[in-house]
Amino acid sequence: MKANNHLNITLVINSLACGGTERVMPIMVNYWAKKDWGITVITLDSMTSDFF
């Protein structure tokens, strides 16, 4: 019997403005998304502070 390795992860961060944690967050999200895990990112600041 094969184990189900599908996980759901929720990440919470103040904002996606410039910074080290903000730089690493998309790297982690992409890594887990490639494993077909469910990813939710919650930011606490407004979208106007996000760096795109």
Per-residue pLDDT of the chain (52 residues; tens, 9 = 90+): 445 667 899 999 888 778 788 889 889 999 999 999 999 998 888 766 666 5
pLDDT (0 to 100) of residue 1: 46
Q: Which amino acid is at 30?
A: N
Q: Is 44 helix (H, G, I), strand (E, B) or coil?
A: coil
14: which residues sit within 8 A by CB, 6+ positions away? 43, 44, 45
pLDDT (0 to 100) of residue 43: 86
| pTM summary value | 0.67
Cβ neighbours of 50 (radius 10 Å)? 13
pLDDT (0 to 100) of residue 12: 92
pLDDT (0 to 100) of residue 51: 61
Phi-psi region of 4 (alpha: psi -120 to 50; beta: other; left: phi over 0): beta
